[in-house]
Structure 1
Amino acid sequence: MNTVAALDHRGELVLDTPEVERFLDELLHEGTMVSLVLYSLTDEVAFTDSQGSDFLIKHVYGWFIEDGTVMPVSAAEAFDIGCVDPDTGEPVPPEPGIYYEDAWPLILQDEASS
């Protein structure tokens, strides 16, 4: 499931779709492990393909959420996760123009009100 996410000035995650927010909330309350990935596009061109289309540099951040605890993923862990075929588990080369970055601590709504 894809959605747009943003961080507000307090570091709280804000989602663009109420259905996605409810779905994530249900998973968190069930204790299900959830991975959250943020793709941040820049206006810098990574490369131009043979048809002349520009591909922008993308920064990738990740978090694991389990039992209501948010755990930021390091750049190395994000690289390892992003460079594996999900069907076979085999390593795949990284996509050009993608930079895997260290994630930062997130504050979930329930944590902020505690």
Structure 2
Amino acid sequence: METIPKVTATEAALKLIEYLKTQHGELMFHQSGGCCDGSSPMCYPNGELIVGDGDVLLGKLDGCPFYIAAQQYEHWQHTQLILDVVQGPGGSDFSLEGPEGERFITRSRLFVNAS
């Protein structure tokens, strides 16, 4: 039985991740659910954001852990999150890609039972 990853990334997102790693070292992501950033994925230097029991590790993208808040995961557990990139300033000064003129976004698709 094939396991479908809970989180994946487009080629554009992987390219931006590689660039950001050269600038900032190892990275981590957290799928925001906060009031300020809506559902923007946030990119940080690895270890800068303290994760705990209220966070779920969905997987790794190019070696970078990708977390989501457990409460938000309850709503999105039947979807695959797809990290992508769009042109334009980010919605937050906290995420590392903001000054690069691009921003990460999350797309999603429902898991489908193939049986």
TM-score interval w.r.t. the shorter chain? under 0.3
Higher relative contact order (CA 8 A, sep 6+): 2
Instruction: Give the structure-2-normalised TM-score.
Output: 0.28
Instruction: Give the structure-1-normalised TM-score.
Output: 0.28
